[in-house]
Chain A
């Protein structure tokens, strides 16, 4: 690792955390539970999603342990079904969907656009309460014996054949869905109406563009999921409905409606991650993001295409060949804006002054893993190969490369990047670099063998498998252990850094975003007075001039 660094910390012997900041403004539990401050709500969200991440992670550990041997050795087959269903539900709806938007997004979006708060602070708080309520329902579901439909609530399995807690799980997701609708709605309104003077659309940081695109998906997609879940629960309760073929319903209709949300949901999960990567890559290569406009519009393009590709989840479910062809072509189209992003980040790095702080390491991990995840998505989008590969471990590996290798990496990248702003303190650099490396190695060890397993024909969602697959499964389980260490480390050292980390100062990374031009941790109102944006995004020369001016005025 290069010794070069852009980190500039204030003199530690004299530096202090500002006495007045959003954390110290008010004290007591109530001041947190009734807060309207987007930064406090983001903190609440961060704690809650970390909690659910570790539940989901523990379930993943159980899955990998069970798959260590070809027989059903650790748990019975139906227990295994419940474990992977709960893993999916918790990770998708209680970690990935809110991960970057509700935590990092909540924290930085108002600051990036130069506002004092999100447009609707009370709705923002309501969103967190809905999340918690949904989370409690989910925990109740788990305590009451879990649900074994998979995270997709597939009918008529969920409406007719199963005797598990489908209703409470669906209610939990329904409620959590509204929390995500409210976050998205708040972001869109804030970005439209709360920008500070001079902050034109094309001066917005790319993080804002990608969160805006994700918010569109949340606002338009999630309600459809909500009504589908209502219909599933109704159908279960009164034993008549529109999805069960036994009553003349159509299970394909369920698939259409479900994936109409759940495919865009994939982009709800990944788009905000793209935003983090844009910020990090630019900051640690000291260059404006190459092709700013193209990257900005590629986010919007992904959001638009997202609504026209859902049926690629249904190629083997009996949709017509013609619609399969159309949806396959549309799916290929999504690769274009995704590739625009990856190439533009690569060009940003070209001739940049690259340094290798932790957020950047995670970002590099993201670029590699997301590219693999995205490219294998093209395999699955082709109707021919999809029929061969779907419902095998290939698809499991594919979406874990995108969701874990992509989204989780970018989430961790973002958490490390904004941690100094959030807490006013630095995390331990060397240790966190080690964690980033561990995560990367552990991740590849876990999920790469699954691509091979999938092409060899190992089906997903079974507790047992033919003995010839064992070697690769052992690799995968071993990798999961390493991955687990990689995730535990940040929890430990980030908690440690709350008290012992070096004082970060306003702008340790010399980054250009408005959020870095105020104190860390920020004031409740974010800025002493509303800023005026008088330069383009990622203008490092502006920053340099600014600092020279300051030195001159202090001197």
Chain B
């Protein structure tokens, strides 16, 4: 502007305000920095909503078309593990929220404890997911790579599941569509697990930095924004769980 034109060709007048070391140079104040990065995180989560939105759309259309196949496909999932995993993830959201709170009240020990718990629960979730995926592989329910329609053409051959649900045999063309169910199952849970893996990776980074006290001196932005991400991934699971596990139960 006016003053800047006048001084623009001269040396840069470095005006140094007093500000904490974590304030980046292009922000006027810490509040502006927090506001900005927080807003950016929410926008990023919005892109994530759209990203998963495409998958959910595909799921809903296929499910409407091939409902019987989706029901019997879902009977192959273990409600026990699914519920356990939901509980694990909800607990991790709680510990994450506590971690953000610990950072806010500047308690380093507690922050590390809750980050650690979140980490353990995150790994636990992935472990349980691994168990479930492994089971799918054993029963030849991995679409494209190792798939058999036996459990759906002749449900009685699959004793454990049959005992519980007494499913009727599907017609061959509908039984073939169960592969579609498992395709979407792996696409959805896989994409979700990928987000979990990224989250756990960032969590390790945060723990290392938290150890040196980076987040307990008033600068909680990063922990708080990561918390938003973690809760978002949790919410995705909250939708996945009924859509994949409980199809015939609600």
User: Chain A interface (Cβ within 8 Å of chain B)?
Assistant: 18, 20, 115-117, 119-121, 123, 181, 185-186, 188-189, 192-194, 219-224, 226-228, 230-231, 234, 237-242, 247-250, 253, 256-257, 260, 506, 514, 517-519, 523, 525, 527-534, 546, 549-550, 553
Contact = CB atoms under 8 A, between A and B. Distances in A.
7 contacts: A119-B26, A185-B47, A250-B65, A527-B1, A528-B3, A528-B8, A529-B15
A226 B5 CA distance: 45
B39 A253 contact: no
A549 B6 CA distance: 11
Given A231-B58, A241-B183, A185 B1 contact: no
A193 B32 contact: yes
A236 to B, nearest CB: 10
B144 A120 contact: no
Contacts of B8: 18, 506, 518-519, 523, 527-528
B36 A119 contact: yes
A242 B183 contact: yes
Contacts of B12: 20, 523, 525, 528
Interface in B1-59: 1-13, 15, 24-26, 28, 32, 35-37, 39-40, 43-44, 46-48, 50-55, 57-58
A189 B40 contact: yes
A465 B241 CA distance: 55
B46 to A, nearest CB: 6
B13 A550 contact: no
B44 A253 contact: no
A116 B25 contact: yes
B179 A223 contact: no
Given A119-B40, A257-B54, A528 B13 contact: yes
Contacts of A117: 26
Nearest to B35: A193
Contacts of B2: 517, 546, 549-550
B116 interface: no
Contact of A237 (B5, B32, B144): B144
A234 B57 CA distance: 17
Contact of B36 (A18, A193, A247, A549): A193
Nearest to B13: A528
A188 B62 CA distance: 35
B3 to A, nearest CB: 7
A425 to B, nearest CB: 16
B66 interface: yes
Contacts of B9: 18, 519
B36 A527 contact: no
Contacts of B52: 227
B61 interface: yes
Given A20-B11, A193-B35, A257 B1 contact: no
Contacts of A527: 1, 4, 8
Given A20-B12, A223-B54, A231 B144 contact: no
Interface secondary structure of B, over-half rule: helix
Contacts of A226: 51
B4 A120 contact: no
Nearest to A110: B26
Contact of B54 (A185, A193, A228, A525): A228
A519 B38 CA distance: 33
Given A18-B8, A119-B36, A525-B12, 17 more contacts: A119-B26, A186-B40, A189-B40, A189-B43, A193-B32, A223-B48, A227-B191, A228-B54, A231-B54, A237-B144, A238-B143, A239-B144, A248-B176, A250-B62, A260-B54, A528-B12, A550-B6
Contacts of B183: 234, 238, 240-242
Contacts of A237: 144
B66 to A, nearest CB: 7
Given A247-B179, A257-B58, A223 B50 contact: yes
Contacts of A20: 11-12
B43 A185 contact: yes
Given A219-B43, A238-B143, A531 B54 contact: no
B177 interface: yes
A198 to B, nearest CB: 9
Given A219-B47, A227-B55, A193 B180 contact: no
B243 to A, nearest CB: 15
A546 B43 CA distance: 39
Nearest to A249: B180
B235 interface: no
Contacts of A221: 50
B121 interface: no
A117 B25 CA distance: 9
Interface string B179-211: 110011001000100000000000000000000
A388 to B, nearest CB: 31
9 smallest A-B Cβ distances: which pairs? A238-B144, A227-B54, A223-B51, A116-B26, A117-B26, A519-B8, A531-B1, A223-B50, A193-B36
A242 B145 contact: no
B32 A518 contact: no
A223 B62 contact: no
Contacts of B176: 247-248
Contact of B61 (A115, A240, A253, A549): A253
Given A181-B47, A242-B183, A532 B36 contact: no
Contacts of A186: 40
Nearest to B49: A223
Given A117-B26, A188-B43, A519-B8, A220 B50 contact: yes
B33 to A, nearest CB: 9
A84 B12 CA distance: 51
Given A240-B143, A525-B12, A224 B180 contact: no
A121 B39 CA distance: 15
A46 B138 CA distance: 52
A461 B35 CA distance: 50
B3 A529 contact: yes
A233 B240 CA distance: 22
A345 to B, nearest CB: 27
A247 B66 CA distance: 12
A518 B55 CA distance: 48
B4 A224 contact: no
A532 B51 CA distance: 39
B235 to A, nearest CB: 16
A214 to B, nearest CB: 14
